[in-house]
Amino acid sequence: MDSLQRLLDPEALGKLKGLELKAKLIVEGYVSGLHKSPYHGFSVEFAEHREYVPGDDLRYVDWKVFGKSDRIYLKQYDEETNFTCQLLVDTSESMAYRSPQSKVSKLEYAQYVAASLAYLIVHQQDAVGLATFDKSVGHVLRPGSTPAHLRQLCELLERNPAGGETALGPILHDLAERLKRRGLVVILSDLFDDPESLLLGLKHFRHRRHDVVLLHVIDPAEQDFPFVDPTLFKGLEGLGDQLTEPRSLKAAYQREFDGFLKAVRGGARDLHMDYVLLRTDQPLEVALHEFLARRMHKAGRR
């Protein structure tokens, strides 16, 4: 079974039929997808070559390069679609957490969500790109809109295990500088950072006029704190292990965690960003259906 088959759940996708990922903001570019551009005419500029992948559109093969090298390369262009979505996936060590009652880790859940959104975007004939990050930006895949591109994106998602520390604020500043073209940015992360630093990084995306969605991925144990017996908590991202008595900590812990959620949610609202809390015990189709339906409703009112 390849990455595409492992990450895409046909049953879940079937329940999302008829939904599209709508951008709330008007974006620039040439119309090749479902989104109408407010501009007449277009300019498509050559950007770079990439190696051919089975399933790619042969219209973009550079035959001159093939004649010289006997290898098939495709021409990539900067403006191929009116709607471009960038998926930014946190692969830091904290995303590896999976409590005993959870079927998947936070990173695995984020991978399923990212692959499902990419599938919907490609099948509505729009473009989707991907960037992974921990303490630095990892792999970056330029936006594309072909089935072959979707397969490549899923393979890249699976090639990035959780590991390494992260400081989200500086990373988001870096990513905001890299994404030159205005569009939809979907961030999948547990958002574990100082809220003030995190929100400053997010503000950079709004300064560059992106439409931003925060998909906040958490494990249910991180919110519910179901621990009862003395427990050794393993420190992640450089923190030490700690043996604790959970019953004496639960009330204080939950106050802190609820305060963290409130700060992030309120900050996103002030920045006019969509915020969705995704627990890894929540069925994928339920989480995505509510989010996508709300996006379509907002787009319809524009």
How confident is the model at residue 108, as a pLDDT? Answer: 92
* Residue 38, pLDDT score: 42
Beta strand 184-189 pairing with 84-90: parallel
Task: For the chain, give the number of residues.
Answer: 302
DSSP-derived 3-state class of residue 210: coil
Over the stretch 20-67, which tens digit does the pLDDT of each residue have?
A: 565 544 333 333 455 544 433 334 455 567 677 666 667 778 888 888
CA 209 to chain centre: 18
Angle subtended at Cα 121 by Cα 29 and Cα 91, rounded to the nearest 5 degrees: 105
Beta-bridge mates of residue 89: 132, 188
User: Over 141-172, what HEC string results?
Assistant: EEEECCHHHHHHHHHHHHCCCCCCCCCHHHHH
Burial class (CB in 10 A: 0-12, 13-18, 19+), 259: exposed
DSSP 93: G
Question: What residue segments make up the domains of the chain, in order of their start?
Answer: 3-37+81-301, 46-77
- DSSP E strands in 38-102: the ranges are 46-51, 73-77, 84-90
pLDDT reported for residue 64: 84
What is the distance between the alpha carbons of residues 279 and 109, in angstroms, rounded to a whole number?
9
pLDDT at 267: 95
Find residue 232's DSSP bridge partners.
Answer: 243
Residue with the bigger pLDDT between 240 and 107: it is 107
Q: Token pair of 136, please? A: 């630095």
At residue 218, φ and ψ (nearest 5 deg) are -135, 155
Average pLDDT over residues 109-113: 91
Phi-psi category of residue 272: left, alpha or beta, with phi > 0 → left and psi -120 to 50 → alpha: left
User: What kind of architecture, by CATH, is found in domain 3-37+81-301?
Assistant: 3-Layer(aba) Sandwich (3.40)
Q: Which residue(s) pair with 233 in the sheet?
A: 242
Residues 82 and 284: their CA atoms lie apart, in Å, by: 28
Residue 79: pLDDT band by 50, 70, 90 thresholds?
A: very low
Average pLDDT, the chain: 79
pLDDT in tens, 178-236: 998 888 999 999 998 888 999 999 999 988 889 999 999 999 998 887 766 555 555 45
With a CB cutoff of 8 Å and minimum separation 6, the contacts of 282 are none
